[in-house]
A and B are shown apart, each in its own frame.
Chain A
Amino acid sequence: MRSDIAAKLASLPPDEQVLLRPLVVTTSRFYIAAAILGGILLWGLFAYYLQVHKGLGGTGLNRPEYWGIYIIDFVFFIGISHAGTLISAILRVSKAEWRRSITRSAEFITVLVLGFGAIQPIIDLGRPDRLFNVIFHAHLRSPLLWDVTSIGLYFTASTIYLYIPMIPDLAIIRDSGIKATWFYTFLAIGYQDTPTQRARLERIIGVLAIVVIPIAISVHTIIGWIFAMTLRPMWHSTIFGPYFVMGAIFSGIAAILIAMVVLRRAYGLENYFKPIHFDYMGRLLLLFSLLWFYFTFAEYLTAFYGAEPAEMRTFWAKLTGPFAVPFWAMVLGCFVIPLGLMSQKSMRTPRGTLIASIAVVIGMWLERYNIVVPTSVNPRWDMESLGHYFPSWVELSILAGTFAGFILLYMIATKFFPIVSIWEMKEGREQSVHEVAVRVAGYLPEPLVASARSE
């Protein structure tokens, strides 16, 4: 670090010193990790180049197994993207004060992973060169077109929702002079933290937090509908919309927890991601693992009890047939492990939540696998032969490249933007402690309010 920048950083208040440090100090471990991830990303890009050049024949897809890894990843990544916007918006709207240090890192996950999710169906296209036909020849009855619309809207809304609450922090960086000033001057759009500007900012954030919630819910509902609108056994289910939204939030919480543990360790943010945050997020994870079980049980029991032959072929293929391993691994990852760990207070620690979250992320990826593949290989018509699916190296390379690309972009983002909101921490210290005391007093019967006022 240059000495003048070090002096500038040292002159800042303590919160800013800690939270802006990653913007100016980069360790060699960061560069090594970035190089490895960059290598994997390039390998994935090479695999995609081959696929475009030769056609989708390089995948393991076939008839009737038309959709595979790319569509699984599409559902998975868009699901993860519900982490940020939805959780941060819900916590904001419900005035959960402990959110302050978490929202920014969560919102970054949303915006970055959404892009990687949205390209998956394009990677899956036989003719990516004709992508814009969805605009030129738009057929509004197709759920895929609803999807294009809602993801476009969600990407716009969540980018704005990431940017607007970041403006005061961008102004802080601009004024500190530790990074290229022109860049932050441009992004901070003249914000000076005057009371009028602050009030306006808070009002916009308040409106946005409410607007993004229905948009986020629509996104994963429609992804569920892409499957549910067909007449395929175990896809044609009314529960799919809410089931997908619930699963998206579930995997999103797990993704935030993993990011929190890594950021805490890498950037020394123990003071910001405290045991209480892991305790509360762990409780949320527990709640959603129970919800996951409820939805999954309802879905499978209904299919089993009705016992239509076409449904039952797919049902048994999952429970005891060729998909028994991914199915029960999913139950382990989404239910048994998170329930076992998160129901104990001693496990709702960074380490405990990390283990549970990794289990949930793997479990939720498998859930999407168990939705896409078993139905695909079991056509409704019993005279049709069963399909099989084994992903090729091209698909697995693109899968690895996508994960690497997302993590790399997220790492780079932490070098340009504070990953914990500085002004919201400050606001918490200066205003909210008092506001919460007044609010809690306001919940209580009148005489107590009077005595609180007289103090």
Chain B
Amino acid sequence: MTRWGMVIDLDRCTGCAACEVACKSENNIATVSPEQADLGRTFSWMKVMAQVNGDFPDTTMRFMPRPCMQCDNPPCVKVCPVSATYLGEEGIVGQIYARCIGCRYCANACPYTVKYFNWYAPEWPETARHALNPDVSVRPKGVIEKCTFCHHRLQRAKEEARSDGRELQEEDFQPACAEVCPTTAIVFGDLDNPRHRVHELKQDPRAMRLMEELGTEPKVYYLTPRA
């Protein structure tokens, strides 16, 4: 059974945020005004978290790209009153924008705070409107959205593989963040397929998952820094 997952090597991550930018343009993520950003209403399906440790001058900085963890036991799916968020067959946690009632219970239930709410109807600068991705639906106001592992790319890759009469390969389906990462810190594939890199990487001694103790079974692994 296919279980799409991600391994992020924190030793390789430079905090360049290319993944964040790629995600924004790939997924038609709305831009908000500086005033709205100050209110805490930005959208970042993929977000590079930064943390400074220690006191000056002995400080270190830690970066951590954070997509949706695509949990195998997702707390958000349990609480949704209308099944607008659900666990798909290949392990991707999906959102049905046309069904969501906007109660934001899932956003509160997610321990990783990866859910975003459309406080207003989405807006883009005039120049960006021409660059919207026709494969990704634009969200209306009042619904929840989040990272989907670029699920639309999976659909397209499957169709292409089927028309070519061949099996889906690892390189056929890569989300925008993994594709663009200049240091290949983000590796994506089928966690259960021994031919995919993530299959071996997730068993690395450095591999850990965020808040594993909560039993959410995330499918995003991190390789902790060696130093």
Q: Interface of chain A, helix or strand or loop or mixed?
A: loop
- List B contacts of A67 (CB < 8 A): 104, 108
Asked, given contacts A54-B120, A124-B103, A142-B78, whether A388 binds B109 with beta carbons under 8 Å apart, the answer is no
A127 within 8 A of B: yes
Interface size on B, residues (CB 8 A): 44
CB contacts (< 8 Å) of A388 on chain B: these are: 40
| Residue from B80, B107, B214 within 8 A of A139 (CB atoms) | B80
Question: Known contacts A231-B214, A381-B113, A384-B113; is A133 also within 8 Å of B82 by CB?
Answer: yes
The answer to whether B128 has its CB under 8 Å from any CB of chain A is no
Q: Which residues of A contact B207 (CB under 8 A)?
A: none
CB distance from B213 to the nearest CB of A (A): 10
Give the number of residues in A that approach B within 8 Å (Cβ atoms).
Answer: 47
**Is A64's CB under 8 angstroms from B107's CB?**
yes
Are A137's CB and B83's CB within 8 A? yes
Chain B neighbourhood of A274, CB < 8 A: none
Set A60, A127, A231: member contacting B142, Cβ < 8 A: A127
Chain B residues lying within 8 Å of A61, measured Cβ to Cβ, are 119
| A229-B117 contact in complex given A124-B103, A125-B102, A388-B40, C-beta closer than 8 Å | no
Kindly state whether residue A399 has any CB partner on chain B within 8 Å: no
Q: Are B78 and A141 in contact (CB under 8 A)?
A: yes
Across the interface, do A63 and B116 meet the contact criterion of CB distance under 8 Å?
yes
User: B211 near A: Cβ within 8 Å?
Assistant: yes
User: Which residues on A sit within 8 Å (CB–CB) of B82?
Assistant: 130, 133-134, 136-139
A residues 130-160 touching B (CB-CB < 8 Å): 130-131, 133-134, 136-139, 141-145, 148
Interface bits B29-46 vs A (CB < 8 Å: 1, else 0): 000000010011100000
Interchain nearest-CB distance for A311 vs B (Å) = 13
Q: Write the nearest CB–CB distance from B39 to chain A, whole angstroms.
A: 5
Bound-state CA distance A182–B79 (Å) is 48
Q: Decide yes or no whether A165 CB sits under 8 A from chain B.
A: no
Bound Cα distance from A38 to B144, whole angstroms: 35
Q: Which residue in chain A gives the minimum CB-CB distance to B112?
A: A381
B210, A381: Cβ atoms closer than 8 Å: yes
B103→A63 contact, CB < 8 A? no
- What is the bound-complex CA distance between A130 and B81, given in angstroms? 12
| A56 within 8 Å of B (CB atoms) | yes
Structural contact, A139 and B109, CB atoms closer than 8 A: no
Identify which of A55, A127, A148, A230 contacts B81 (C-beta below 8 A).
A148
Bound Cα distance A63, B32 (Å): 13
Question: Do A66 and B107 contact each other (CB < 8 Å), given the known contacts A126-B141, A130-B101, A383-B51?
Answer: yes
Interfacial chain B residues near A229, Cβ < 8 Å: 78-79, 109
Given A130-B99, A142-B80, A230-B79, 14 more A-B residue pairs with CB atoms under 8 Å apart are A55-B118, A55-B141, A61-B119, A63-B40, A63-B107, A66-B104, A126-B117, A127-B101, A128-B101, A130-B82, A131-B101, A141-B79, A148-B81, A380-B111
Using a CB–CB cutoff of 8 Å, the interface residues on chain B facing chain A are 36, 39-41, 49-51, 64, 66, 75, 78-84, 99-105, 107-109, 111-113, 116-121, 140-144, 210-211, 214
A interface residues with partner B (beta carbon < 8 Å): 54-57, 59-67, 121, 124-128, 130-131, 133-134, 136-139, 141-145, 148, 226, 229-232, 376, 379-384, 387-388
